[in-house]
């Protein structure tokens, strides 16, 4: 019988905003994970990759509640 690895998706809060022609964002729960892309979809994918890379490198403790700029929004993304 083949071995199947079980993967549990985790969700992280992301600050997302459109800045000119660019989408920028950063993960509140994983400081240091941020991205800038031309499309919203590319931004979300880059944030997911950044989260996976960060989690592979070290253990972390989530910080408190984020400060959200007036021209940005808070979203939860699944990794």
Q: Has residue 5 been placed in a domain? A: no
Q: Has residue 6 been placed in a domain? A: no
Neighbouring C-beta atoms of residue 56, cutoff 10 Å: 7
Q: Which H or E run includes 15?
A: strand 11-19
Q: Has residue 29 been placed in a domain? A: yes
Q: Has residue 58 been placed in a domain? A: yes
Please state the domain count of the chain. Answer: 1
Look at residue 3 in the predicted model and tell me its pLDDT: 43
Look at residue 60 in the predicted model and tell me its pLDDT: 55
* CATH code (residue 24): 3.30.160.250
Q: Has residue 1 been placed in a domain? A: no
pLDDT tens by residue, the chain, 79 residues:
444 445 567 889 999 999 999 999 999 988 899 999 999 999 999 999 999 888 876 555 555 667 788 888 888 888 7
Model pTM score: 0.66
Cβ contacts of 65 within 8 Å, gap of 6 or more:
none
Look at residue 34 in the predicted model and tell me its pLDDT: 96
């Amino acid at each position: 019988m083949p071995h199947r690895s079980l993967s549990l998706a985790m969700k992280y809060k992301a600050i997302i905003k459109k800045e000119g022609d660019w989408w920028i964002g950063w993960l509140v729960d994983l400081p240091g994970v941020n991205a800038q892309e031309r499309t919203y979809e590319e931004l979300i994918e880059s944030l997911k990759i950044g989260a996976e890379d960060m989690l592979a490198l070290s253990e972390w403790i989530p910080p408190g509640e984020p400060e959200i700029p007036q021209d940005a929004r808070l979203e939860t993304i699944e990794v």
